[in-house]
Amino acid sequence: MGKWMDSYLEKLSRLREENLAGGGGDRAALQRQLGKLTARERIALLADPGSFEEIGSAVRDTRPPFDGKSRPSPGDGVVMGLARINGRQVVLYALDFTVMSGSLGDQAAWKLVDLVKMAGRLRVPLIGIFDSAGERLSMKDGDVGFNGIAQLIRQYCLYSGVIPKIHLLLGPCTGLAAYLQVLSDFLIMNRNTAFLWLGGRVESPGAGSARFHMEKSGQCDLIAGSDEEAVEMARTLIGYLPQNCWEKPPHAGTGDDPMRREESLPWVLPDNPKFTYDIHEVIEKIVDDGEFFELKAEYAPHLVTGFARFGGRAAGIVASNPEELSGIFEPDSSDKYDRFMNILDCFNIPLVTLVDTTAFVPGDKWEKLGVIRHGAKLLHNYANLTCPKVTVVLRRSYGGGNIVMGCSRMFPDFVYGWPTMEFAPTGPETVVHAVFNKELAEARERGNYREVFDFYLNILKEMFSVFHMGSHWTTYYTVHEIIDPRDTRPKIIRALEAAGNKHEELPGRKRSIKPA
């Protein structure tokens, strides 16, 4: 080898040493003192061993610093490239907080623009790890080139629904980059170190934290207790997703018998229909190995969303939770459901709905909050779903909640009902009060109010029962079959198998218009 090549290889070796050092040992030590891993440590945990192939390592900050002080800028603060996760090809990047506090520079923005385009061309998932103080200031323009930031945001939008996008927020993220977090399909936040804020003063306690964005804004999907846990969540999550919108989610054998009957299921429901129960008990009994990967667990908890497997097939579960507010629908739960439906339909993931709801909450407060338009989004979205859809009604299916959870006339592929289920425009107790108020008033005067009320209530409950409704195939909302609760798991599995190659076409159009 000639000496001329030696000199180039020495330059390459120095460049790689600079990249591995990031912002320096002191900055890396500070990162660990804050309970955070470095960018490269995070990538090493996320990617299969030895699979990460870096690109863009020669890039450096080319603009004069705002304060005139020169700082190291390996990769312009972004480590990115190709990798495999559980053997599957992905494209990923991590902002390096040791390099100028992870601030997003001009060259970094353009690197990421091309990376998103690459992920779209290759049709593989994109994973971003954020730990950034925001846009970087410079003497030349006063701020990072907004052209690059705007291009990056546009590419995220253009490839929405084309490839899965997962974000891990493991430190701060402010300014325009905050939009990228919610333009991803899933956002995982570190409970101890993540901070997400667009701008302005932070006034309320805990504002910007993972808990804040889980419980208040609903922008966080998963909360991790550490960087390591966040990475493990991302690795689990991607196992439920396909590579792109043209593929189906991966099948994974679990060893759980697809014909397994769950003998304890009939006794989950309380004897008194006025009492509640936790829908998680039902979910854990019917999914493979009892493993349910819940999303937005603490946001609108009266509606449960998440991923599971049925006979090895990935599926999204949406379930009313009577334990929380009787499983009602309101604006927050509607938004939670609406977004999850979008993700499932984009990536060909079946939807399984478990229904026990008292419908949309009425009243002046909720009307002011737009309960109608939020509910209309669900009607619009469910009507346009083409992914496999299976509905199982456990107990109550009242009012508009019945429709948005996939009643028979919204044409899910299969509708099953437990023998305990009731279809009704509203709760039968409410109907008794509305229709028989004169008779009840007279009964109150006679002293036999309870007896008269129960008489009319039992008549209505019989009318609303699935055994009555189910006898009218075309007239009322109905079911394809009434099932023994113990057969719920095998019925869902057979339904998903049957719908595996379904084909459903929507009316030709440029795009539909979702309610505001």
DSSP category for residue 249: P
pLDDT attached to residue 137: 64
* DSSP SS3 for 428: helix
For residues 323 and 358, the answer to whether their CB atoms sit within 8 Å is no
In which residue ranges of the chain is pLDDT below 50?
139, 142
Q: Write the pLDDT tens digit of every residue in 470-485.
A: 666 665 677 888 899 9
- pLDDT, residue 305, reads 98
Q: How far apart, in whole angstroms, are the C-alpha atoms of residue 257 and residue 289?
A: 9
pTM score above 0.85: yes
Contacting residues for 83 by C-beta, under 8 A, at least 6 apart: 43, 46, 47, 48, 51, 52, 53, 89, 90, 91, 92
d(C-alpha 99, C-alpha 101), whole Å: 5
Question: What's the angle, vertex CA 78, arms to CA 117 and CA 225, rounded to 5?
Answer: 105
| Among candidate residues 24, 43, 27, the one with its CA nearest the CA of residue 95 | 43
Those residues whose C-beta lies under 8 Å from the C-beta of residue 143, and which sit 6 or more positions away, are: 135, 136, 137
The DSSP symbol for 511 reads -
DSSP-based three-state secondary structure for 96: coil
- Amino acid 308: pLDDT: 98
Task: Identify which of 455, 457, 343, 340 has the alpha carbon closest to the alpha carbon of residue 405.
Answer: 340
Q: All domains of the chain, ordered by start, with CATH?
A: 12-238 (3.90.226.10), 265-421+465-498 (3.90.226.10)
CA-nearest of 367, 292, 361 to 324 is 361
Q: Check: CB of residue 120 under 8 Å from CB of residue 91.
A: no
Length of the chain: 516
Measured CA distances, 306 to 233, 266, 385 (Å): 13, 23, 17
Say which residues have a Cβ less than 8 Å from residue 78's Cβ, sequence separation at least 6. Answer: 56, 59, 93, 94, 95, 96, 108, 111, 112
Q: Report the SS3 class of residue 228.
A: helix
Burial (CB < 10 A; 0-12, 13-18, 19+), residue 6, is: exposed
Q: Please enumerate in sequence order all residues whose Cβ is within 8 A of that of 73, keeping only pairs 6 or more positions apart, or say none.
A: 60, 61, 99, 100, 105
DSSP labels for 394-414? EEEEEHHHHHHTT-GGG--SE
Give pLDDT tens digits for 407-425.
Answer: 878 889 999 999 888 777 6
Burial of 83 (0-12, 13-18, 19+ CB in 10 A): buried
Residue of 132, 120, 18 whose CA lies nearest to 75: 18
Phi-psi region of 454 (alpha: psi -120 to 50; beta: other; left: phi over 0): alpha
Other beta carbons within 10 angstroms of residue 502's beta carbon come to 12
> How far are the Cα atoms of 37, 190, 258, 388 from residue 98, in angstroms, in the given order?
10, 18, 49, 46
pLDDT value for 65: 66
Q: Residue 170 gets which letter from DSSP?
A: -
| Cβ proximity of 199 and 175 under 8 Å | yes
| H-helix segments, 62-209 | 106-122, 146-158, 177-183
Q: Write out the E strands in 300-442.
A: 303-310, 313-320, 351-357, 389-398, 414-417, 422-424
Closest CA to 428 of 474, 477, 461, 394: 461
Residue 142, pLDDT score: 45
Determine the pLDDT at residue 42.
Answer: 97
Which one-letter amino acid corresponds to residue 432? V
Tell me the three state secondary structure of residue 498: helix
pLDDT of residue 469: 64
pLDDT at 84: 98
Contact 39, 131 (CB under 8 A): yes
pLDDT of residue 19: 83
Long-range CB pairs of 215-221 (<8 Å, 24+ gap) are: 215/298, 215/299, 218/296, 218/299, 218/300, 218/332, 218/335, 218/336, 219/181, 219/182, 219/187, 220/187, 220/188, 220/189, 220/196, 220/296, 220/299, 221/186, 221/187, 221/188, 221/295, 221/296
